Structure 1
Amino acid sequence: MSMLAGVILSASTFLGAGPASAAPPADAARPAATPARSADQVAATPRDAPSETPAGTAADTADRYADAPSGTAADAPAEFGTDWHDPLTAAPPVAKPATKSCAVTVAEAQFRDFTPYRGTYTPPSGCGDRWSKVVLRLDGKVKGRQFDRLGYLHIGGVEVFRTSTPEPSPDGIEWSVEKDVTRYSDTFRRDGDVEMLIGNVVDDTYTGVLDVKVTLTFYAQGGAVQSAAAPDRVLTLQDGTLTTPRNSERIVAEVYATGSGGGCEEYWYLTVPDPAPYSCKADQGPYREVQIKVDGRLAGIAEPFPTVWTGGWSNPFLWYVIPGPRAFDIKPIEYDLTPYAGLLNDGRPHRIDVSVVGVPAGQTGWSTPVDVLVWQDAKRAHVSGALTEVRVGDLTNSSTDTPGSQERLDTAGGHRLTTAGYVDTSHGRVWTTVRRTLANTSAHRWTDGENTDALKATWTDDETVTVDGRGPVGVRRTHRTYTMDGTTTLAADDRLRTVLTLGDRAAVDETRGGRRTTWSRLDDTYAGDATYTANVPRDQRHAVGTTSERYRLYGSDGCYDRVLVTVQGVLTRDRSDC
C-alpha cells in the first residue's frame, strides 16, 4: 500500500501571502502511512505497546525521566483515550521587561472555513510610541475532530506571524504561542488593517472550529530586558517590487517560506526523481533551496527548515501534546541584502523575486511572503553606494537510486553565494560582505508498496556577515543545522508505528576587532515513538506513544534548559535545569 498516495493534509492546504481562495481543496482521510522505519529496525508491533524500543528514542527518554515532578509514566493510561494534555513546547517564554505595559486585542475569531478575519488595528495609548519590547500572544482552543491547519496574521499588510495548529481531542484542547515582534514596531505605530486566516474545513466529519484570540502587549522603554534595535521601516512588496528609503544603510529581507499545498511539497524532503518507484515525484529529487533575487541577480540563498506539522508522518499521536520544532511559530528566513543597498537607494522600484529550487515546474506548494526591514541614516537624505561583488558557486544536486528489496535514494546538494557592497553614510564608508554556504545530504529507504519508509537527512546553512567601517571590523557567524531521522512501518496487522527524531540547532558568534563579544548555542531536539491501528474507526486505534523535547539555549546572555516527556498524552516530565 502506498504510504503517500492520496495525501491531502490540512496543514498542507495552500496558504498564500494574501487572502486564500474561498474554495478549499477537498480534504481526505490521513493516508495509512508515510515515512516509516526500515525493516531491519522494526518487527511487527503488538497492540498494547511497541515490542522493541530502539535506543535513544522518546520511550528511552521517558524511562530515564520517570521521576518527573508533573507525573510519572505509571500515571499514564495503557493507551490514548479521548483527552490528553494541552499542547505545549519546551521553548522559553519571551522575556519581558518590568515596565508599564499596554495590551491591544488584534484579532478574535472562530475559523470554520476559508474566510479571513478582517479588522482594524489602532496603536495603544499610555505606553508611548517607542517600546522596549512588543510581544504577540495567540490563545486558541478547539475540540472534536480536525486536521492541522496553517495560519497567518497581517497588520498593515505586513506578515507578523505565521503558525500551524494542533489537532484536538474529542474533549477539547487549549494552547498558546508567544512571539517577540518588536522588529515590527514601525508597523505598530500607525493605524492599519488586520487580516488573519487559519483556513479550515468544518463538516459532519471534521467538527473542530478554531477559536483564537491574538493580542499585542507593548512594554514601555526601560527595564533590564531589551530587544535588539528595531528597524526604522518595515516594508512590503508592491506588485513584486521594492522601493526603499534613499537613506537606507542596512536592509534585511524576511521570507516566511512554508512548503505545503495539498500534495507532496509538504513532504518535499521525501520526493524522488524518475525512474525511482515512489509515490511522490520531483524532477530533481528532494533538494530544496529558497532563493531571493534583486532585479534578476541572485541576492540570497537559504535552506528551508523541514517543518513537520501536527499530523505529519501519518501519525498524529506523535504531536498531540508536543509539536515538532517551529510548528507553532514558523520563523522567517532572513537575508541580509545590505550589499545591495547602494543599488536600491536610487528611489526607484526594484524587482524582488523569491523562488524555491527543486519544485517541479508549474507545481504549487510553497508560500513565500516577504517583509523588508530597513535601518536608515538619520543624518543623510541619500546614502549612496555600490554593489561590488556577486559570486555564485555551482549549485550541486545529485540523487542516486539503488534498486533492491529495499529501494534507496541518496541525495547530496549544496550551493555557495558571496555578495559584497558599500554605502557612504554620515559616519563614513561601510562595507558589508555576506557569505552563505548550503549543504544537504539524505538517505531515503523504502520497500515495495512503501509499507516501510525511512529517511535520514541533514541540512546545514552557514552564514558569515562582515561589516567593515568606522571602528573595528564586526563579524557575525551563524551555523545552522537541521536533522531528521525517522521511519514508519505498517505491519501485516495494520499496526502503524513511527519513530522520529528532529533537530533544530544553531551556533552564533559575534566578534569585534577579532574579539568575541557575544555568542549562543541552540539545540532543540524532538523525539517520538507512536503506534496505532490504521484503517479502523478512531475508538479502535488502540494508540500508544511516547514523545519528548529538550530545548537548550546558552551563551553570553545566560542559559535555558527544559525537558518535556509525555506517555499516551500524559505529561510525565516537565523539568528545567541550567
Structure 2
Amino acid sequence: MVSTVPFLLLNILSFSLITAGKHTFRPHFTIDPTTVTITATTTTNNNNIPPTTYFEVTKPIQLPNTKPCSTLILQHDFAYTYGSPPVSAPYSPPSNCPSTNFDTIVLEWTATCQGKQFDRIFGVWLSGVELLRSCTAEPRATGIIWTVKKDISKYYSLLMKNNQTLDVFLGNIVDSTYTGIYHVNISIHYYPAENKKSRNLGQLGQLGQLGDPWADLIIPISRNLPLNDGLWFPIQNSSDVQTKKFSIPQNAHKAVLEVYVSFHENDEFWPTNLPNEYILDNNLTGYAGNGPFREVEVSLDGAVIGAVWPFTVVYTGGVNPLLWRPITGIGSFDLPTYDIEITPFLGTILDGKTHDFSFSVTNALNVWFVNANLHVWIDKKSEMTSGKLLKQKGSPFHVSLVSNYTGLNGTFVTKVTRSIKSTGWVQSSLGKIVTESTQEFRYINTMVIAKNADSQIVEQTIGFNDTVHTENPSSVHLKESLKSFLFYIDSDTVDKGNGSYISVANITLGFNEKKVDNSGTKSSYSVLENLQNGQGSMFVKGSSVVSGLGSTQETYNYADDKFCYFRDISSSNYTIIYDKEGDTCSKKKQSRFNLVSNRHSI
C-alpha cells in the first residue's frame, strides 16, 4: 500500500537500477536504515536519549533590534493524513502588538518525530498563497527535531489582512510498520521597525517601483479548496497542462509571478533519467525515462511568457538517507522559488477581464507539483493604468543529444539552450515606463553508464539568468540574477549474492547566485555560493539495510553590501565532525562564483 502513495517515500536511490542479467530495476527500500543502525547499537532506553536536531545550512535572517510579537498559528499531529484535506487554522495579524509597523515577519516551522517514517513533501498556504514548500526530515528511534525559519516579509500586504485561513498539507501514513507521527508547531514572529516611519504601500517611487519593495496585492495561482491534497497543481506527464483563471486591478503598474516547484516519484531524480532510445534498445522495463532534461513552462492566455529550469533538490530520503543526518540537502527544508517578470504583459491583462496562467513540464513523468503567487503593485494615485506589449520573443529549444553506447554501457551528452525576452510599457501616475525582461538558459548533462549498468556517473550544470531593465526618459533601473546549479553523482552497485548488494554513491550539489540591483546613483548586490559534497555506502539484503555510512561536507558563503556570513561544516552518521561559522567579510577573499561557472561553462 505504501508504494502507491504519490508522495516522498524513502527514496534511497540506487542509480544502477538495471541489473545486467535480468534488465530490471532494483526496488526502493522499505525500511529505514537509521532505525536498523540505532536498534543494533542502542542499549539504553530511547526515552533517555535526547532527539537529534536536523538542519539546513543557510544564512541567518537579518532582524531589527526590536522585540517580536509572536503568535502560534497552528499545532497539529500529522498521523494518517494521506488523502485527507489540508489541516486548517484561522489567521489574523496580531492585535496586541505595541506597533503595527513591522520591519520583518518570520514564519517558523518546528516539528518532532520518533520511530520509522518516510520523508514527505508539504506546503503551507495562506488564503491560497503558498508561503513555504518543504520536505520533512526522516526520524530515528530516539527521535528528531527540526526547525525551518523563513522570512515571509514580502507577503506583508497579505499578512496584514484579518479573517483568513492557513492551510497545511502533509500527506503521511502511520501503521504498525511506519510509526512516525509528525508533531508540528507553526508560529509567526512580527518584528516592529526600529523607527516610527510607517510603510506606505501603494505609493509610487522611482521608475514605477514602490518605495517599499513588497507588493500591494498577492493573488494565489493555486488550486481551490476543498481538496484531499495540497493546493499545488499535479503535473503527471509532458502533455499535462494545468490552468488557473485570475484577474488583476485595473490600476496595477507592476507584477511578478513567484513559482513554487517540486518533483517526485519517477521524476524525483530527473537528472539521472535515461534516454528513451537506450531503454528501447535494451528492452528495459520499470525505468524512469524521457532523458535528463526538464523545463517548467509558464504561459499567459496560451502564450509562453517564461520558464523555470529548477535546482535539483535532493530530499531527506534521497540517494542515501545517512547523507542528510543531521545536515540536510540544499533547499530540502525550504525549496527555492523562481520569479518571472509579468510587467511587460500588463497591457494585455488590465482590461478587467479574466485571464489564464498555465503550467506544463517538458519531458515530465509523474509527478510535479507546481503553483504560483502573483505579486501585484498598485498605483493608488490612478483609477486606471494602461499598457502595451511591444515585443515578445522566445527562442525554441536548441537541443543537442550525443549518444554513444553498446548494449548497457555508454555515454550520453545532452545540451540545451533557450532565451525568452519580453518588452512592454505601462502608463501610470509617474509617466510612461518601459520594462524589458530577459531569461537566458544553458544546460549540459553528461551521463556515463558502465559495468553493465551497475555504475552511473552524472554531471549536470544549469545556467539560469534573469534580467529586468526598466527605464523612463530620465533614469534607468537594472536588476540581474545570475544562477548556476550543479548536480553530480557517481554511483556503483556490487552484487554480493543471496539477494544482497553494496551500494556506493558520491554526490555534489551546488547552488550559486549573484544578484545586482542598479538604479544609477544607488546600487546593491549579493553573492551566494553553497557547495555540498556527500559520500555514502550501504550494505543491503533484500529490502533491508544491514549497515551504512553517510558523510557530508558543506561550505556556505554569502555576502551583500551590508552583511556577510559563512559556514564550513562536516558530519558523519549523525555526528558533527567540525563546524566553523562567522559573519566577517574578507575583502581579500576571491569569490568562487565565476570559478564554478567557468568550470562548468557550456
Q: TM-score, normalised by structure 2?
A: 0.80
Q: Is 2:197 the counterpart of 1:230?
A: no
Contact 2:69 2:94 in 1 (8 A): yes
When residues 125 and 541 of structure 1 are mapped into structure 2, their CA distance, relative to the original with a 3 A threshold, is: same
* Aligned equivalent of 1:418: 421
Q: Is the 8 A contact 1:435 1:463 kept in 2?
A: yes
CA displacement 1:224-245 (0-9 Å, x = unmatched): 9999622100112377112111
* 1:489-509 residue CA offsets vs partner (Å, 9 max, x unmatched): 122332211111100000112
Aligned match of 1:33: 14
Tell me the distance in 2 between the aligned counterparts of 1:206 and 1:453: 31
Residue 537 to residue 385, structure 1, CA distance change in 2 (3 Å): closer
Distance 2:64 2:376 in 1: 25
Check the 8 A contact 2:57/2:330 in 1, yes or no.
Answer: no
1:30-179 counterparts in 2 under 5 A? Answer: 33-34=14-15, 85-113=52-80, 114=82, 115=84, 116-127=86-97, 128-179=99-150
| Larger RCO: 1 or 2 (CA < 8 Å, sep 6+) | 1
**Alignment of 1:13 onto 2:42:** no
* Inter-partner Cα distance in structure 1 for 2:309 and 2:420: 13
Distance of 2:195 and 2:180 partners within structure 1: 42
Give the secondary-structure state (helix, strand or coil) at the position aligned to 1:34: coil
SS of 1:136 mapped into structure 2: strand
Q: In structure 2, do the counterparts of structure 1 residues 305 and 221 end up closer, same or farther at CA, with 3 Å as the change threshold?
A: same
- Name the SS for the 2:276 alignment partner: coil
Letter in 2 for 1:109: H
Does residue 560 (structure 1) correspond to residue 565 (structure 2)? The answer is yes
Quote the Cα distance in structure 1 between the aligned partners of 2:452 and 2:184. 41
Q: Which amino acid aligns with 1:90?
A: V
Counterpart secondary structure, 1:534: strand
> Aligned partners of 2:391, 2:259: CA distance in 1, in Å?
23
CA distance in 1, matches of 2:263, 2:38: 36
Offset, 1:346: 1.3
Superposed CA offset, 1:325-380 (max 9, x none): 11000122211101011222111111111111222xxx531111111111111211
- Superposed, 1:240-279 pairs within 5 Å as 240-260=244-264, 263-277=265-279
Q: Distance in 1 between matches of 2:376 and 2:432?
A: 18
Aligned partner (choices 483, 486, 502) of residue 483 of structure 1: 486
- Residue in 2 aligned with 1:212? 184
Residue 528 of structure 1 is matched in structure 2 by 534
Note the C-alpha offset of 1:182.
0.9
Is 1:311 the equivalent of 2:295?
no
Count matched residues. Answer: 510
Q: 1:134 to 1:354 in 2, by over 3 A?
A: same
1:13 deviation in Å?
A: 1.0
Distance 1:466 1:403, change over 3 A: same
Pick aligned residue for 2:518 from 505, 511, 527: 511
Deviation, 1:81, is: 5.2
Cα deviation for residue 451 of structure 1 reads: 2.2
8 Å contact kept, 1:503–1:526? yes
Q: In the alignment, what sits opposite 2:232?
A: none
> 1:170 aligns to what SS in structure 2?
coil
RMSD, matched Cα: 2.7
Residues 256, 385 of structure 1: alpha-carbon distance in 2 compared, 3 angstrom cutoff: same
Whether the 8 Å CA contact 1:255–1:333 is kept in 2: the answer is yes
Code of the aligned partner of 1:271:
N
Query: How far apart, CA to CA, are the structure 1 residues paired with 2:474 and 2:2?
Result: 56
Query: Cα 1:461–1:81, aligned 2, differ >3 Å: closer, same or farther?
Result: farther
CA contact 1:32–1:534 (8 Å) conserved in 2: no
- Distance (Å, rounded) in 1 between the aligned partners of 2:391 and 2:11: 49
User: Which of the numbers 441, 459, 463 marks the counterpart of 1:438?
Assistant: 441
The residue identity in structure 1 corresponding to 2:54 is P
Superimposed CA distance per residue, residues 77-129 of structure 1 (whole angstroms, 9 cap, x where no aligned partner): 99995688421222122122122421122221111222321221122113354
Q: Distance in 2 between matches of 1:378 and 1:213?
A: 38
Partner Cα distance (1:453, 1:562) in 2: 31
**Residue 30 (structure 1) shift:** 5.1
What is the letter of the counterpart of residue 94 of structure 1?
I
Taking the aligned partners of 2:110 and 2:61, their CA distance within structure 1 comes to 15
Q: Aligned letter for 1:215?
A: S
Equivalent residue, structure 2, for 1:286: 292
- TM-superposed deviation, 1:446: 2.1
Q: Hey, what's the Cα distance between the residues in 2 that align with 1:563 and 1:228?
A: 35
Structure 2: gaps of 5 or more residues: 18-36, 43-48, 200-210, 225-242, 585-602
Q: Separation in 1 of the partners of 2:40 and 2:337? A: 35
Question: Conserved in 2, the CA contact under 8 Å of 1:414 and 1:438?
Answer: yes
User: Match for 1:175: what amino acid?
Assistant: W
- Give the superposition deviation at 1:433: 0.2
In the TM superposition, residue 558 of structure 1 has moved relative to its aligned partner by 2.3
Contact 1:302/1:438 (8 A) holds in 2: no
Structure-2 separation of matches of 1:355 and 1:224: 46
Further displaced range: 123-132 or 320-329: 123-132
Counterpart CA distance in 2 for 1:123 and 1:449 is: 60
Distance 1:183 1:458, change over 3 A: same
Instruction: Determine the C-alpha separation between the residues in 2 that align with 1:244 and 1:485.
Output: 42
Q: Distance in 2 between matches of 1:150 and 1:406?
A: 34
**Given the superposition, is the C-alpha separation of residues 111 and 470 from structure 1 closer, same or farther in structure 2, using an over 3 Å criterion?**
farther
Q: 1:300 to 1:130 in 2, by over 3 A?
A: farther
Partner of residue 572 from structure 1, selected from 561, 572, 577: 577
- Compared with structure 1, are the counterparts of its residues 224 and 129 closer, same or farther at alpha carbon in structure 2 (3 Å cutoff)? closer
**Deviates most, 445-454 or 146-155:** 445-454
Task: Label 1:396 to 1:9 Cα distance change in 2 as closer, same or farther (>3 A).
Answer: farther
In structure 2, C-alpha distance between the alignment counterparts of 1:223 and 1:79, rounded to whole Å: 55
Identity of matched residues, %: 23
Change (3 A) 1:438 1:30: closer
Distance in 1, Cα, partners of 2:153 & 2:129: 13
Residues 435-469 of structure 1: per-residue CA shift (max 9 Å, x gap): 11111100112236632122100011011110102
State the alpha-carbon separation in 2 of the partners of residues 516 and 192 from structure 1: 38
2 CA distance for matches of 1:310 and 1:170? 16
Q: Which amino acid is the alignment partner of residue 489 of structure 1?
A: D
Task: Give the Å deviation of 1:323.
Answer: 1.1
Q: Distance in 1 between matches of 2:447 and 2:79?
A: 37
Please name the residue that 1:195 is paired with.
167
Partner of 2:355: 350
| 1:264 to 1:431, Cα distance in 2 relative to 1, 3 A | same
CA distance in 1, matches of 2:352, 2:101: 27
SS of aligned partner of 1:104: strand
* 1:168–1:320 Cα contact (<8 Å) kept: no
Distance 1:295 1:146, change over 3 A: same
User: Secondary structure of the equivalent of 1:183?
Assistant: helix
Residue 54 of structure 1 corresponds to which residue in structure 2? none
Cα drift, residue 488 of structure 1:
1.7
SS of residue paired to 2:214: coil
Unaligned runs of 5+ in 1: 1-5, 15-26, 37-76
1:165-210 residue CA offsets vs partner (Å, 9 max, x unmatched): 1111111110000000011122222221121111111112211111
